[in-house]
Amino acid sequence: MKNFQTMEIPIQGMDCAECTRHVQKAIAALPGVQAVDVFLAAEKAVVQLDPARVGRLAIRQAVLKAGYQVPEEAEPSKIPPLHKQLNTLLGFVFTFVISVVVFGEWLGFFDRLNEFVPLPIGVLMVIIAGLPVFRNVLAATWRRQITSHTLMTLGVLAALFVGEWVAAAIVVTFMYVGTIIERYTAQQARQAIQALTALAPQTARVERDGREVEISVQDVQPNDIVIVRPGEKIPVDGKVLSGHAVVDQSTITGESIPVESLEGSRVYASSLVKSGSLRILTERVGEDTTFGRIIKLVSEAEANRGEVQRLADRFSAYYLPIVVSVAVLTFWFSRNLLATAAVLVVACSCSIALATPIAMLASIGLSAKRGIVIKGGKYIEILAQATVLLVDKTGTLTIGKPQITDILPLNGMNPDELLAYAAAAERYSEHPLAGAVLEAAMARGLSIPPAEEFESQSGLGVRARVNGSLVEIGNDRFLSQVAKSPVVAELEEQGKTLLYLAIDGNPSAVLAASDRLRPEVAQALSELPSLGIRQIELLTGDNQRAAQALASYLNIPARANLLPQDKIAIVKAFQAQGEKVIMVGDGVNDAPALAQADVGIAMGAGGSDIAIEAAPIALLKEDWRLVPELLRIARRTMGVVRLNLLFTALYNFAGIGLAALGVIPPTIAAAAQSLPDLGILANSARLLRHAKTEVDSNPR
């Protein structure tokens, strides 16, 4: 088996989705390239390759041949060079000039200009003005690629052929105007990612040889001790060694209320120390931090395209040949070369290609700033169609920090001694109930003995050897031999979760734990039916009585005593009925069901690698109000996408029809082809107006 590696290549010069396809095709054609994704918003390509057959230099050369640039390393956006600034200024000046010459078309000024300026001089002016565009078109044609400028270049040639050099000049002008619009539109898609990246600190203050030294974040290593003072951003993920501070973690969790960080607290890169100071033991830096992983996921979300995006891509692939065919038929039947040129000029495929990604990237970027990580546009599309919501109980509907409320001895041993044995066995378990047992033991000041031979069985319980005895603790399926008593039934009726303890195979105790429902859950669930959710069910490994007590309060059905594979089977059953299933869990125990669902949502994933990786969508803040808000975002986004596609399709086909009939000349056609990009940008901008919601304005 070949050892494939992943390489990121920064790319400059991409203005629309059509550009990404050209770059992807160029890189994919190289021997040794296994897979490649090209991201417009992140301005990079992620390539899986065989390093023995292909390297960075070969990829760079392929990208250059495709007509794009590869800088030495990825850099943040900078002020463009002087010649680019002049080109931009020229574009705006030309826009003003065109506003005049369009009226000139109606008033007949062009005829006089054609008569006043000799044709050879006019042709020379057109060639000089359009040379950069023509050169790119020729290079693309040599590579057997057709771009939107290919059509416009054909229109220019057609106008020059019939002696209408003024019309050709106006077409060239609108090539520049259209390019400016496309670059601006692409830049809007990048802004959310750039805004996130800008939040990351660039330097860190570390302890070296007994003194503090300020260095680049890139030079910080794991186990370095970082010092952070008031008003500074934390540059790494790590654990507080000493100090006390109030930290704003909104960049990670979206939660606007600052938290206190003390010795032993975990802190995250890009969090802001509002007061106090901290000494932090570095655990992760750069792209490995929680914040770095969020940026990476958002910037690469383009790779997960939905059916609507793929439909637009397929449409774009067939669109240009269709336009050329219409132009040929126009000339065949009318012998009107100007009408033929107008057909070629008015058609612009970039608006079709931009219709979906601009809206998707706007929503993904804005969601990330609010603590919702969406790993691709296809998940937004599925969310808008979702009909079933399945939810976990512990850590999802509830706070996830249960407390031990009762200890019922069954063998005459002291409750504290039983609790110490239980805590020892649970020491290495990740389940929330294990934490409750440990906290109860520490709260009583108990000495917890060491445990050996620890073994965990997912969805059942744990066993370990403590002081030479085999200690087992778990649910009633794990320890079916533990007899139930009327007291146990009473505890279950109260909705409490029970843990059964056995020592050396003998029933020893029953521990009862209770958890608090998140206060916003009931209101959030009540909003879901109006957002297309027809069925909501609680899925839990807890016992039936505990599950039913919570489900009855929320007025939803419940299924209890479920193993991870049982949850997967339930998800599959709904999918077999044609339902689109959302699964909401904590991202750890529910990882298999989150992966099986059409869309998995990990609740409270801030700082958790497992949770962020487990599901296509991660809620970094433990706030159920984000669930209905997420569905609203998805439905709004898909509404904008559908309107974008409908508008640009109707607009382009109407323009082609009018041009073919000779109603609009090439000059007006050139002006008209730039308008769909503006329409898409304006329509997609409506999503920005919904960025502020009650989730932001009413934090917990």
Which residues are paired to 409 by β-bridges?
A: 509
Give the chain's mean pLDDT. 78
**513 three-state secondary structure:** strand
When pLDDT is cut at 50, 70 and 90, the band that residue 575 belongs to is very high
What does residue 551 show for φ and ψ, rounded to 5 degrees? -65, -40
Burial degree of 646 (CB within 10 A; 0-12, 13-18, 19+): exposed
Q: What pLDDT is attached to residue 432? A: 72
Quote the pLDDT of residue 23. 85
In this structure, the answer to whether residues 383 and 461 fall within a common structural domain is no
pLDDT band with cut points at 50, 70 and 90 for residue 186: low
pLDDT of 678 > 90? The answer is no
Please check whether residue 496 lies inside any domain of the structure: yes
User: Is the domain of 477 the same as that of 575?
Assistant: no
538 shares a domain with 495: no
* Residue 530: pLDDT over 90: yes
Is 211 domain-assigned? Answer: no
Whether 696 shows a pLDDT value over 50: the answer reads no
Measured CA to CA, the distance from residue 354 to residue 161 in angstroms comes to 33
pLDDT for the residue numbered 90: 44
pLDDT band, very low/low/confident/very high, at 577 (cuts 50, 70, 90): very high
Are 510 and 525 part of one and the same domain? no
Same domain, 538 and 610: yes
Q: Which residues of 163-195 are buried (b: 16+ CB within 10 A; e: fewer)?
A: ebbbbbbbbbbbbbbbbbbbbebbebbbebbbe
Are residue 279 and residue 423 in the same domain, yes or no? no
Give pLDDT, residue 417: 92
- Kindly state whether residue 264 falls inside one of the protein's structural domains: yes
Alpha helix (H) residue ranges in 386-520:
415-426, 432-443, 486-493
Residue 537 has pLDDT above 90, yes or no: yes
- Tell me the sheet residues that pair with 559: 539
pLDDT > 70 fraction of the chain, expressed in percent and rounded: 76
Lowest-confidence range among 20-34, 308-322, 420-434, 559-573? Answer: 308-322
Give mean pLDDT, residues 113-127: 78
Residue 186 lies in a domain: no
Q: Phi/psi of residue 586, each to 5°? A: -90, 0
CATH of the domain at 459: 3.40.1110.10
> Could you tell me the pLDDT band of residue 76, with boundaries at 50, 70 and 90?
very low
Domain boundary among 514, 532, 557: 514
Residue 576 sits in the same domain as residue 427? no
CATH at residue 568: 3.40.50.1000
Among 368, 395, 376, 190, which residue's Cα sits nearest to residue 270?
A: 368
Q: Judge whether 42 lies within some domain.
A: yes
Question: According to DSSP H, which parts of 577-608 are helical?
Answer: 591-596
pLDDT reported for residue 83 = 40
**Residues 528/631, Cβ–Cβ less than 8 Å:** yes
User: Count of domains in the chain?
Assistant: 4
Tokens matching residue 174: 């609108």
d(CA 344, CA 322): 10
Q: Cα separation of 507 and 500, whole Å?
A: 8
Distances (CA, A) of 160 to 114, 119, 137, 333, 464: 12, 9, 17, 21, 87
* 205 part of a folded domain: no
Q: Is 330 a member of any domain?
A: no
Residue 263's pLDDT is 86
Is residue 654 one of the residues assigned to a domain? no
**pLDDT for res 421:** 92
The terminus-to-terminus CA distance of the chain in angstroms comes to: 52
Q: Which residue carries 């220019």 as its tokens?
A: 156
Q: Percent of the chain having pLDDT more than 90?
A: 15
Higher-confidence residue of 106 and 197: namely: 197
We report the CATH number of the domain holding residue 29 as 3.30.70.100
Each residue of 627-677: pLDDT tens digit? 999 999 999 999 988 888 888 888 888 988 998 998 887 767 766 766 777
Q: Determine how β-strand 237-248 pairs with β-strand 617-619.
A: unpaired
pLDDT band at 699, cuts 50/70/90? Answer: very low
Burial class (CB in 10 A: 0-12, 13-18, 19+), 280: buried
Question: pLDDT digit string (tens) for 268-289?
Answer: 888 888 888 899 999 888 878 8
- Residue 408 pLDDT greater than 60, yes or no: yes
This prediction's pTM: 0.64
Query: Are residues 393 and 539 located together in one domain of the fold?
Result: yes
pLDDT at 419: 92
On the question of pLDDT at 254 being above 60, the answer is: no
Whether 420 has a pLDDT exceeding 90, the answer reads: yes
Query: What's the confidence (pLDDT) of residue 391?
Result: 93
470 and 383 in a single domain? The answer is no
Active-site annotation holder among 392, 406, 590, 623? 392
pLDDT reading at 84 higher than 50: no
Residue 118 tokens read as 């000799």
CA distance 266 to 283: 10
Residue 387's pLDDT band, with cuts at 50, 70 and 90, is very high
Q: Is 416 a catalytic residue?
A: no
pLDDT at 303 over 60: no
The CATH code of the domain that includes 225 is 2.70.150.10
- Going from the C-alpha of 306 to that of each of 9, 45, 383, 505, 599, the distances in angstroms are 24, 19, 11, 53, 13
Q: What is the domain range of residue 494?
A: 403-514
391 and 522 in a single domain? The answer is yes
Average pLDDT of the segment spanning 491-508:
82
Is residue 452 domain-shared with residue 598, that is, in the same domain? no
Query: Is residue 97 very low, low, confident or very high in pLDDT (cuts 50, 70, 90)?
Result: very low
Question: Are both 247 and 259 inside the same structural domain?
Answer: yes
> How do residues 35-75 score in pLDDT, each as one tens digit?
888 876 667 788 888 888 888 888 888 888 887 888 765 44
Report pLDDT for 82.
37
Task: Specify the 3-state DSSP secondary structure of 641.
Answer: helix
Q: What is the mean pLDDT of residues 18-33?
A: 83
Give the residue, 405 or 609, on which the prediction is more confident. Answer: 405
pLDDT tens per residue across span 336-380: 888 887 887 777 656 666 677 777 877 887 787 777 888 878 889
